[in-house]
């Protein structure tokens, strides 16, 4: 078992305080957005044996186990994160596996550099993800029903939004959502900026269900994504609740601290709330234009106290243990690779003591006994 030392990414939307408060460190004044735990080459965790990606590359079967290597190849198929949003992230979607392979191959054939700002596909993998709230956590997830979105837009009393409300009522669900999102993202930028300014002022005045959108507009004044965001379900998670985000589902995290796990991919198609490249035609190819229930997940407890967040994905499996005083030790030994992350209290994993923010990598088959008083998240795969 290896204690992990992890990189914190300073993205501009990150909270300046949430991760420092969790790990008991002094804030630096700079945003601390994501702590990466895993073997992603962009910021691999470090072990006493070297960077985790290099440790795995040296002997994939020993580290990941034969089952995982057979199913996913010689790499850790998930990336675990602590995510701390102090401002809204970009409104985005992720491709399914077939779309990712196709898009990656097409950009490779065109010779688009992997680091080019207009490149959509950094790899040939899909990127389903799960976010589990550690604090109250606000987000957007999936389309509202068109009629509900139309009422929300009309309630602002902004004349230039009326055509969008009319479109939402004029067509069947898929066509209505597609036409309105297309219209928002292809509108004249100056005219849209004026509409967003009016809508933001109205949202600020009205409050209530409009309050989240006033906050979004404060961070992204004039951005078309502010109006696009109103097409989506607003979700407020309580600690311990989670959201699963599958392929083609538009979403954005707005505020809060959580544990996020995803398939090991960088593929993101952006809809707005960002200064980065927005490829509208490719985005429209990937988005699933259907109204959905956000489907807030609550963990399912097993007899041994493990609380599992059930998802339809094999590349990752996230669970947690809430360990009370006097609880017996849990044997987590498994034939698959694991990352353990403490988020509260003090947990002993093998011979490693983990305080909040502390983590460990457990190679496949390695003895893994945990005890203590606190909360421990367990990330592994279904193989």
The pLDDT assigned to 363 comes to 98
The pLDDT assigned to 199 comes to 98
The pLDDT assigned to 89 comes to 95
CB atoms closer than 10 angstroms to residue 208: 8
Cβ-in-10-Å burial (0-12, 13-18, 19+) of 98 comes to exposed
Q: Which residues of the chain have pLDDT under 50?
A: none
Question: Looking at 119, 270, 320, 378, which residue is catalytic?
Answer: 270
Distance of CA 211 to the CA centre of its chain: 22
Contacts of residue 309, Cβ cutoff 8 Å, sequence gap at least 6 = 130, 132, 242, 244, 297, 299, 318, 319
The pLDDT assigned to 115 comes to 87
270 assigned to active site:
yes
Answer for the pair 267, 127: CB distance below 8 angstroms, yes or no: yes
The pLDDT assigned to 141 comes to 96
Whole-angstrom distance, CA of residue 214 vs CA of residue 88? 12
The pLDDT assigned to 42 comes to 85
The pLDDT assigned to 266 comes to 85
The pLDDT assigned to 302 comes to 87
């Amino acid at each position: 078992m290896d204690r992990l030392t992890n990189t914190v990414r300073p993205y501009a939307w990150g909270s300046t305080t949430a991760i420092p408060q969790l790990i008991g460190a002094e804030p630096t004044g700079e945003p601390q957005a994501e702590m990466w735990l895993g073997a992603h080459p962009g910021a691999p965790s470090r072990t006493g044996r070297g960077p985790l990606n290099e440790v795995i590359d040296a002997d994939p079967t020993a580290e990941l186990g034969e089952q995982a290597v057979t199913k996913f190849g010689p790499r850790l198929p998930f990336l675990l994160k602590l995510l701390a949003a102090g401002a809204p992230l970009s409104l985005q979607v992720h491709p399914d596996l077939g779309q990712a392979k196709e898009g990656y191959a097409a950009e490779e054939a065109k010779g688009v550099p992997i680091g080019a700002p207009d490149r959509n596909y950094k790899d040939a993998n899909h990127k389903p993800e799960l976010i589990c709230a550690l604090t109250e956590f606000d987000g957007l997830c999936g389309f509202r029903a068109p009629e509900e979105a139309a009422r929300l837009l009309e309630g602002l009393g902004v004349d230039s939004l009326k055509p969008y409300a009319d479109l939402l009522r004029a067509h069947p669900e898929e066509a209505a959502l597609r036409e309105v999102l297309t219209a928002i993202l292809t509108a004249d930028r100056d005219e849209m900026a004026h509409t967003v300014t009016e809508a933001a002022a109205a949202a600020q005045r009205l409050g209530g269900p409009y309050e989240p959108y006033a906050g979004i507009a404060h961070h992204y004044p004039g951005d078309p994504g502010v109006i696009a965001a109103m097409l989506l379900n607003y979700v407020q998670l309580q600690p311990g609740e989670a959201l699963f985000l599958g392929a083609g589902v538009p979403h954005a995290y707005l505020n809060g601290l959580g544990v996020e796990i995803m398939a090991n991919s960088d593929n993101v198609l952006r809809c707005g709330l960002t200064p980065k490249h927005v490829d509208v035609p490719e985005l429209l190819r990937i988005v699933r234009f259907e109204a959905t229930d956000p489907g807030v997940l609550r963990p399912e407890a097993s007899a041994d106290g493990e609380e599992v967040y059930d998802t339809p994905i094999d590349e990752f499996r996230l669970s947690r243990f809430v360990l009370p005083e006097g609880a017996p030790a849990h044997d987590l030994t498994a034939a698959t690779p694991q990352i353990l992350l403490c988020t509260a209290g003090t947990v002993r994993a093998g011979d490693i003591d983990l305080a909040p923010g502390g983590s460990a990598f457990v190679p496949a088959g390695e003895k893994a006994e945990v005890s203590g008083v606190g909360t421990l998240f367990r990330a592994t795969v279904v193989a």
